[in-house]
Amino acid sequence: MKKLILKISVAALVCITFQNGFAQSFKATASPDRIILTWSADPTTTQSVTWRTDSTVREGFGQILVESSSPKLEKPESIEVGATISVLKGKEYESANYHSVTFSGLKPDQLYTYRVGDGKNWSEWFQFKTAPASDKPFAFIYLGDAQNDIKSKWS
């Protein structure tokens, strides 16, 4: 019986320790995270990006260039666009800044490379391809949380 009580006590202690230990692992930092690419107008000529930083970051930029085989991804080829910033104050977490930038004047059916940051802290480089000017078939993968009671759509 004493062994059972000891095992239960140790298990409870481990659960409590890990619960508190992981609570801060998703805290915003000065480095961009939660980077999301979407379009806000015509997907043949525009793409928008949003990302999160902590509240110490006061400005944001997106850099973009036409993709090439070259490993040199820095200026002067890249174009830098200023971002707008929205402050989000959460109940569980400290406030964070959400940045948004729209790249416009892009060429249809063109592969681009982009990154986001504040001039000091940058994300890694990402790629996207603008939509073609004419209608072409395309495919995509949709991943998401189906939630509850919609088996007819997900089964």
Q: What is the pLDDT of residue 125?
A: 92
**pLDDT tier at 126 (50, 70, 90 boundaries)?**
very high
Report the top-level CATH class of 33-132: mainly beta
Structure tokens, 91: 């109940």
For residue 152, is it left (φ>0), alpha (ψ between -120 and 50) or beta? alpha
Do the Cβ atoms of 112 and 129 come closer than 8 Å?
A: yes
| Distinct helix (H) and strand (E) counts, the chain | 2, 8
Q: 3-class SS at 116?
A: strand
Q: What is the pLDDT of residue 85?
A: 81
Q: What is the pLDDT of residue 26?
A: 80
Q: Which of 76, 35, 49, 66 is nearest to 129 (CA)?
A: 66
| Mean pLDDT across 101-115 | 94
Q: What is the pLDDT of residue 27?
A: 85
Q: 3-class SS at 78?
A: coil
Do the Cβ atoms of 101 and 62 come closer than 8 Å?
A: yes
User: Would you say residue 48 has pLDDT above 80?
Assistant: yes
User: Would you say residue 87 has pLDDT above 70?
Assistant: yes
User: Would you say residue 145 has pLDDT above 80?
Assistant: no
**pLDDT tier at 68 (50, 70, 90 boundaries)?**
confident
Rounded to 5 degrees, φ, ψ at 151 are: -60, -30
* CA 143/CA 10 separation, integer angstroms: 38
pTM > 0.75: yes or no? no
Q: What is the pLDDT of residue 154?
A: 59
Q: What is the pLDDT of residue 99?
A: 94
Mean pLDDT for all residues in the chain: 82
SS3 content of the chain, % helix, strand, coil (to 5): 15, 30, 55
Q: For 16-39, how does the pLDDT look when each residue is reduced to its tens digit (9 = 90+)?
A: 766 655 555 688 899 999 999 998
